Amino acid sequence: MIATGSRYRLGLGLIVRGALSWGVGRWPGLGALLMRATIRDWLYHRARRPTAERFQALARPGQHVVVIGDAAHPGKSKPAIASAFEAALLSHAGLTLDRAAQHLQ
């Protein structure tokens, strides 16, 4: 399993990482702008692209690749955590999160 996450388009990753390390979210004016739902949605979802295809191409014929989290759908943390848990702990037993929950009841 390779954890790849997602990447920003157009080389924006360097800018975003730099802005985060400088704390621009706490700067007057910029903090309020970054709190807007439309800006956050763009930064978390629209500006990022999955990376799974690049790594799936590295798989040998017959090798099974499981794509989870941001590598599949950027910005979806709750589904990413669930899919990572399912891939790591349940798939070898042939279970899904729904089936595992039924067994616990």
Is residue 74 in some structural domain? Answer: yes
Among the residues of the chain, which ranges form H helices? 12-22, 30-34, 37-41, 52-56, 77-85, 97-104
Between CA 2 and CA 65 the distance in angstroms is 9
pLDDT digits (tens, 9 = 90+) for 60-100: 888 877 777 667 667 766 666 676 666 666 665 555 556 55
What is residue 50's DSSP assignment? E
Q: Are 37 and 53 in contact (CB under 8 A)?
A: no
Between CA 43 and CA 103 the distance in angstroms is 38
Between CA 2 and CA 27 the distance in angstroms is 36
Q: How many domains does the chain have?
A: 1
Is residue 53 in some structural domain? Answer: yes
pLDDT digits (tens, 9 = 90+) for 6-58: 788 888 888 888 888 899 888 888 888 888 889 888 888 788 887 777 777 88
Is residue 1 in some structural domain? Answer: no
- Domain hosting 97: range is 6-104
Is residue 46 in some structural domain? Answer: yes
Between CA 75 and CA 41 the distance in angstroms is 8
